[in-house]
Structure 1
Amino acid sequence: MKVKACIYTDAGKKRAVNQDSSLIKVASAGKMGRISFVAVCDGMGGLSKGEVASCKAIRTLENWFHEELSLMLGIDEDKIWDVIEISWRRLLADINRDIRRYGKHRGICLGTTLTALLQIGRKYMLMNVGDSRIYLVSRKDVQKITHDQSLVQSKIDSGVMLENEVQNSQERNVLLQCLGHGSVPQPQIIRGDIRMSTTVVACSDGLWKTISEKELFRALCPQMCVTSEDMLEECKKLTMTAIDRKEQDNITVAAMCLEY
């Protein structure tokens, strides 16, 4: 398997500080082949020091990838995902505790979303807290595989609100869960298979609020991702389109094209 990857981020025209943080890691895992890991965290703009919260989460994930995951790769393939899930849940508790401790010592509230996907072979697992998103873009279609933990999404799920009402809702930025602001969140954790060449796209809400799935497909389907530079240019174009459409939030998009 070959992996091409890039990250593009922009503070936007309104915010002085970019409170998004992100990472992509690719490594060789012996008999398991190449493994890849992508994550995006969006510091909460309504709270102080959102950039500190998102950076803390990303740095913790990075350390986990280098230190803990490497020790797990010798585990039987039938059991490794259970072990990783247990590790992730502990990791989220640690991040939540550390961010809350930082805020308590300084008398401030801060928090962050977190969405991440780990790929090993043709399998993946993701975890999600908040409303950053992950899409899988194949040669045929695009699939959103995260589920927003937000007030408007809960109203859509219960039939109280329609999808086309979200854009004008005053509640569209209200999260039901985040890291660092309250008790340990209950993450969405799911597992799946990657059956063909696919581009994994992780992004903050600054991108997906104004960019359609059709536009994501046209820009980042595997057949368009010839080089990492091509991918970076397409991510930049998507970001500029979002800004042109009056998106005022920070925007981050991290993309990995997995070629099987």
Structure 2
Amino acid sequence: MDQTMPHTVATLAADLDKLGLSRGDVVLLHASLKSVGFTAGGTHAVVQAFLDALGPEGTLVVPTHTPDNTDPAVWQHPPVPEAWWPVIRENTPGFDPARTPSRWMGLLAEAVRTWPGAVRSDHPQVSFAALGAHAAAVVAAHPLDDALGERSPLGAVNRLDGKVLLLGCDHDSNTSLHLAEWRQQEPPRIRTGSSVRRPDGTSHWVTWTDVDPDESDFGRLGADFEATGAVSRGRVGSAVARMMRQRTLVDFATEWMVTHRVGANESAAHS
């Protein structure tokens, strides 16, 4: 898209308003900052545009996941030698919401995480950070064994009737779809582990069992959801933006998975 003038806090906030983001909303943002295009003030300005659009009564939520703090036995991108596994488990600094940076979540998520007043959940693998009126409520509870379920920040956004905004990215980044996985009757489960920080500052490795996440069909699921007309599409800066009500998305995805995952698995078992 041609951009004759830089984007600004004001023009981005106006784009968000046109898309349907309102003052007082709770919004879970997934973003590719590069896709927004040149903005006067860079990352800082983009965050400020969201805060201006939401107002002091609104809440901005971002994923601040740490996939490098997982069991090295299952790493694939890239894998590491088996001899390294115990060294990694024993020496990785324990997750600390205040210190541990996110990984692969993008510059915008990191900017929100480190913004004055931001708070972050304490899950060592899939934490979320939030700014605004409901931020503390969103991140207050995040049990190890309900990473992306009802008791997680995703569940909190759902209870608050929040929105999901995909900014320059697609549904394979749409973390809320995992909430639908956790709602399945008997989802596949997996043993996992991470390094966590004790109150005295030392670290130790902990393990637990939770739902095994599967993003392989999120693109197809998202396309089917968009076909219902429930997604608001527009431009925020130079980025293609898709916004949707999280409850509508997750309810659709929950039923979709019953048909396309459970049904597909049963068909394969009887073939």
Global fold match (TM > 0.5): no
Greater Rg by CA: 2
Q: Which has the higher contact order (CA 8 A, sep 6+)?
A: 1
Which structure has more strand as a fraction of its residues? Answer: 1
Q: How high is the TM-score relative to the length of structure 2?
A: 0.28
